[in-house]
């Protein structure tokens, strides 16, 4: 007695690749649509970009940290103990003036200065509630 017919076994052994081909064509269409064609309508000689240095913020105060640990505000020496009070006084004077701008501080550290010294100055700026603090760097020379 046969439990399964011969035709039932033949259909199970064949692989239907129609859904796979549909998926391949859909993916091909998606890749064609999403690929941006290169724009070469006209031959143009584009100008070269000029190297423009970043302008310093308006009314910026420079805090310089030398390799030996000496700290200066705009070339005037200041002790680390007095830095927070000096920065608070500068900020309050600036806010009282007609500008109504907050104090901008740019920290310039010597290349041989220890990071701990720079971090101390950053911490003191944070204690003075300065929000516009930047670190000055020089561009790499090619």
Give the span between the Cα atoms of 66 and 74, in whole angstroms: 13
Query: pTM here?
Result: 0.57
Q: Is the pLDDT of residue 91 over 80?
A: yes
pLDDT in tens, 49-82: 677 776 655 678 899 999 888 899 988 899 989 9
Q: Examine residue 39 and state whether it is found in any structural domain, yes or no.
A: no
Total domain count, the chain: 1
Q: Examine residue 74 and state whether it is found in any structural domain, yes or no.
A: yes
Give the span between the Cα atoms of 58 and 105, in whole angstroms: 10
Cβ distance 113 to 65 under 8 Å? yes
Q: Examine residue 46 and state whether it is found in any structural domain, yes or no.
A: no
Which stretches of the chain are DSSP H helices?
6-13, 18-34, 80-96, 115-127
**Nearby residues of 16 by Cβ (< 8 Å), 6 or more positions away:** none
pLDDT in tens, 102-131: 788 989 888 888 889 989 999 999 998 888
> In terms of Cα–Cα distance, which of 111, 29, 95 is closest to 128?
95
Q: Examine residue 38 and state whether it is found in any structural domain, yes or no.
A: no
Q: Is the pLDDT of residue 32 over 60?
A: yes
Q: Is the pLDDT of residue 1 over 60?
A: no
Give the span between the Cα atoms of 22 and 71, in whole angstroms: 71
CATH number for position 64: 3.30.420.270
- For residue 77, the enclosing domain spans 60-135
Q: Examine residue 72 and state whether it is found in any structural domain, yes or no.
A: yes
Q: Examine residue 32 and state whether it is found in any structural domain, yes or no.
A: no
Q: Examine residue 109 and state whether it is found in any structural domain, yes or no.
A: yes
Cβ distance 116 to 69 under 8 Å? no
Q: Examine residue 6 and state whether it is found in any structural domain, yes or no.
A: no
């Amino acid at each position: 007695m046969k439990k399964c017919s011969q035709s039932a076994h033949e259909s199970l052994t064949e692989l239907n690749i129609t859904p796979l081909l549909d998926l391949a064509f859909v993916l091909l269409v998606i890749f064609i649509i999403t690929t941006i064609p290169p724009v070469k309508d006209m031959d143009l000689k584009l100008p070269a970009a000029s190297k423009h240095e970043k302008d310093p913020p308006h009314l910026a105060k420079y805090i310089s940290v030398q390799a030996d640990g000496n700290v200066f505000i705009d070339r005037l020496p200041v002790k680390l103990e007095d830095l927070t009070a000096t920065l608070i006084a500068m900020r309050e004077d600036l806010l009282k003036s007609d500008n109504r701008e907050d104090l901008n501080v740019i920290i310039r550290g010597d290349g041989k200065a220890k990071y701990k010294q720079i971090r101390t100055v950053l911490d003191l700026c944070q204690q003075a509630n300065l929000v516009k603090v930047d670190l000055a760097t020089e561009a790499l020379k090619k």
